[in-house]
Structure formats: structure tokens, C-alpha cells
Amino acid sequence: MQQPEIIPHLFRTEFRKITAVLCKRFGMENVNIAEDIASETFLSALEIWPYKGLPENPTAWLYTVAKNKAKNMLARNEVFHRKITPFVQAETPEGQEPDIDLSPENIADSQLQMLFAICHPSIPAEAQIGLALRILCGFGIDEIATAFLSNKETINKRLYRAREKLRAEKVAIEFPPESEIAGRLQPVLTTMYLLFNEGYYSESSDEVLRNDLCLEAMRLTDMLIAYPPTNLPDVNALLALMCFHASRFKARRNNNGEMVLYHNQDESLWNQELISKGAWHLSKASTGDRLSKYHFEASIAYWHTIKEDTAEKWENILQLFNQLLMLEYSPIAALNRTCALSKVRGNETAIMEAEKLQLTNNQYYFTLLGELYKSIDPQKALENLQQALALAKTQADKQVIQTGINNLTRAKD
Amino acid sequence: MNEYALIMRHEDGSKIASPEQMQAWMKQTMDWIGTIAAQNKFVGGTGLPFDGASVVGHNGVVTNGPFGDIKETIGGFITVRVESLEEAIEFAKGCPVLQAEGNSVEVRRIAKNDGTH
């Protein structure tokens, strides 16, 4: 039996379901109890399965054990008893055992409601991502620490503070009323966007983990789309954006784990299925009367799924960046716009515009200038790349810049 | 930081542009605004379509379309966030409406809402 593989897999998928249902049942003030019961359930599996063999239906086994543990907990724990029992009894007819509903419907509802609760405006964004990873994605503390390039203690503290905050704010685990959904959805989408970026741009060397972060963000966004009240244009635009980016997973790194820049990527490694899925959601996104930043970013990402450099492609990308920047400025969008400008109007125009940006503490500013100067003034290109290298923080970035410097010096000799 | 309005003035709003000209002009305007937005200095703005425009004169006389006695018309405006009037003027110089002779861009500081102007 391949128990070593099956348990981590089940852990991911079932831990989050059990936790969400128990959180929903016990309330936000008992999130840690829900997590403990879910953890103990898996501990039991680890203790029993190696000796007795894998049960016929491992998921059902886990649910039964989780239910029993929850009931035992309700009965035994003194503190818990006093705090929770009155609330639970209110919903449970006399003489019946409290039911823990692990039906697929209740699991899906509980997870979505938890998503809204965790992405409550009162919780700092960083903590939202951590909580989402722990409770909704079933990530272990070690994994979260690795993903954030942090350590267990820091993550534990951060999650503890976030749970305290949820408790203090008395955030209810429920669907927001229809009239509030649009507003409450925005922080949820921001968290999904950040969670995806965390994986996509993560410095962590663990490739499986990085991709998992992205896939989890996509799974949760998919859940929002499966729930009709949140199947809205900007949610579809966000999922389209994620699909287009994720389609390049395999092409972005070479066999040594080094970054491969877009124009050097082997497009036969791009995932066509994800590109089609993205295109489908982008078309779904074009139904409303409001364009979000996700719409512009998804459209830009769509044009990047066409490898061939055409005037039309770059003209469209440039106009989309113009609109994105009008809506919301970000240094990275400003730099990428300038890159698109160079494709449309040539490097000299782009250099003039790039130098106006004055993002002199941003390594990508110098990387861009280095690239733009390459064919015009190799010496200036070299100087810019050296400044970029001095600012670069991660090994992957340093490596890319160093390769550029090496190519330039070799060309000069 | 001050905010300035860059007001695009057309000498003759009745001139009809071809769809191709319109499209080229739209792109140029978007690129111009994109340049400003990429420096995080774009605040907002809008185009003001000529069709259906009306001018209300003294005594409540309404002229449909600003194309009667008043030839000059305003095509739109944007608001920028800049260090100085000179910087606002530099942005204005890049405005595509200036490609047509007779057009102009008026640069006006926006009053701060704190009584100091």
C-alpha cells in the first residue's frame, strides 16, 4: 500500500473540509478546537492504518472519526462544555446527539462561508493568506513557513493573532447578504490574488509547494464561481488571469530550477487546456458594465499566451497597460507598460519614458533600462544591469541578471 | 504636490474626423495619459463628446451644439498631480490635440479645498 502518499493527499483535501465544517458548527471563537480535532483525526489514521491496513473508504473513515472526536470533545471538555453546549443544544433536540454534517453540500457551503469570514476587512492581508492556507487549504505550519520564507514560530504567532482578531471581531461564519456580496467580495478576491502571486513569484525553492499555492488559489476562486451569487465578472476575470499565468508553469523554469524568461520559453510546454479555460472565463468576465484591474491584467495575460510578436499584440498590450495604470498605479505595471512601449515605438522612445519613472530603488527598473540600452549603448546597458544586481535580493533574480551581464561582456570582447 | 487640470481646447469642434483618424487619436491620447499614469501622476479625467452638446447663454437662450457663434470648444480634460506648474506644462506639451493648428491646452491649478487656494 502506498500509505505514505495517500495520507498527505487525504490530509490536504480532507483536513480543510473537516476543519471548515467544524468551524462552521462551533463558531469562529473555536477555530483552534476545530483544527485540533481535524489534526487528531489524522493522527489516529497514522496510528491505526499502518497496523490494520487502509480502510475501504478512507474518507468515510476520517469523517466518522472526526464526528466521534467532535462529540467526545463536546461531552468531555469542561471549558468547552460550558462555552459551547448551550449554543449547540439550542439547535439539537433533547436526547439527540449533535450532528456533524459532512455532506458535500455542507462542506462546500462551510468552506465558502469560512472564506468570507477569513477575508474579513478587519484581518490584515498577510494573516488572511496564512489563515486561508491553514484552514481552507489544509497546509501545515511548516509548509506555510516555507512558502513565506519564514519560520514556524512567526507563522504560529501570526495565525494566533489572526484567530484572536476573528474572535474579538465576532466575525460570523455565514454568507454575506446578497446586497453586501459585491463589497465583501473585494477583499476575498484580493486575498486570492495575493495567494496566487505568493506561489507564482515565491522565492521558495520548493517547486511543488509553489505550484500548490497557485492551484489552491485557483480552486478557491473556482468555488466562488460555482456559487451563483459570487459568479461575477471580476471573479471570472481573476480566474482567467490565474489560468493564463498558470499555463506557463512548466516553461518558466528549466531542469535546474532556474527562471526562464518569457521570450526564451518553449511554448510547446504551455498548458493549452489552462489557456482555453482562461479564455472561457475571460469571455464570462466580459458581461458586466465595469472593468476591474483583473479584467485588464487577464487581457494582458491573454495576449501573452500568443507567442508570436505582432504589432497588434503589443499595441493591444500597451493600451491595456495604459488603462490598467489609469485605474490603479503600480510600479510593476509602469515598468511593464514601458516594455510594451518599446515593442510598439522602439527602444529610444521607451528609454526616454523609462527614465521619467525614476524607480531607482527597484531592481526591475534597472533591468528594464539594461534591456532597452542593450542594442543602443552596451556600456550603459552594463551599468544598469550592475545596479540591478546590487539591488536584487533573490538567488533566482541574481542569476538572471548575471547571465545578462555575462552576455554583454562576452559581446564586447 | 499640486493638482492641475489640463483642459483640451479645440479651435473648431465641428470638424468631423474619419473613424480611422478617431482611432489613431484615441490611441495617442491613451498613450499620452499612460505616460502620465506610469509616473503615478494621473488623477482622473474624461473626454467630453461634442454630439448632443448644448450651450446655455445669458437669458437662458439654449444653443444646441456649441457650433454656432462659439466655435472654440472643450474636448475633455485630465487632472495631474505634479510638483510644479512647469511639470504640468511639460505634460500639456505632449497632448495629442496640439497636433492640430489652432488647438490649445489650458493648464489650470485646482483649488485646494482648504481655503488657501
Q: Give the CATH number for residue B18.
A: 3.30.70.1060
- Do A8 and A92 lie in one domain? The reply is yes
Most confident range, picked from A16-30, A80-94, A99-113, A362-376: A362-376
The band of A83, judged by pLDDT with boundaries at 50, 70 and 90, is: low
Nearest to A319 among B30, B35, B39 (CB): B30
Tell me, yes or no, whether A315 lies in a domain: no
A51 and A14 in a single domain? The answer is yes
How confident is the model at residue A249, as a pLDDT? 87
The mean pLDDT value for A222-242 works out to 95
The answer to whether residue B70 scores a pLDDT higher than 60 is yes
Distances (CA, A) of A25 to A35, A133, A240, B61, B84: 12, 20, 34, 69, 60
Buried b (16+ CB within 10 A) or exposed e, A122-136: ebeeebbbbbbbbbb
Please check whether residue B70 lies inside any domain of the structure.
Answer: yes
In a domain, B77, yes or no: yes
Domain range holding A34?
Answer: 1-102
Indicate if A108 and A206 belong to the same structural domain: yes
Whether ipTM tops 0.90, in short, is no
In a shared domain, residues A115 and A160: yes
Average pLDDT over residues B46-61: 83
DSSP secondary structure code for residue A98 in this structure: P
Is B114 contained in some domain? no
Both A22 and A94 in one domain: the answer is yes
A90 and A29 belong to one structural domain: yes
The mean pLDDT of A58-80, rounded to a whole number, is 81
pTM comes to 0.83
Cell 494566533 belongs to residue: A160
pLDDT of B50 > 80? The answer is no
Which candidate, A244, A334, A332, places its Cα nearest to that of A281?
A244
Q: Is B93 on the interface with A (CB under 8 A)?
A: no
Of A315, A319, A357, the CB nearest to B38: A357
Kindly report, residue by residue over A164-211, the tens digit of the pLDDT: 888 888 888 889 988 888 888 988 998 899 889 888 887 666 777 778
Domain count, chain B: 1
The boundaries of the domain holding residue B87 are 2-109
Question: How many Å apart are CA B99 and CA B94, to the nearest integer?
Answer: 9
**Does residue B115 form part of some domain?**
no
Any idea which of A28-32, A109-113, A326-330, B78-82 has the lowest mean pLDDT?
A28-32
- Is A338 at the interface with chain B, CB within 8 A? yes
* Residue at A87 is within a domain: yes
Last residue of a domain, one of A72, A102, A132: A102
In a domain, A311, yes or no: no
Task: Using a CB–CB cutoff of 8 Å, tell me whether A271 touches chain B.
Answer: no
Identify which of A145, A167, A171, A177 has the alpha carbon closest to the alpha carbon of residue A158. Answer: A145
**Do A237 and A278 fall into the same domain?**
yes
Q: Is B117 among the domain residues?
A: no
Domain count across chain A: 3
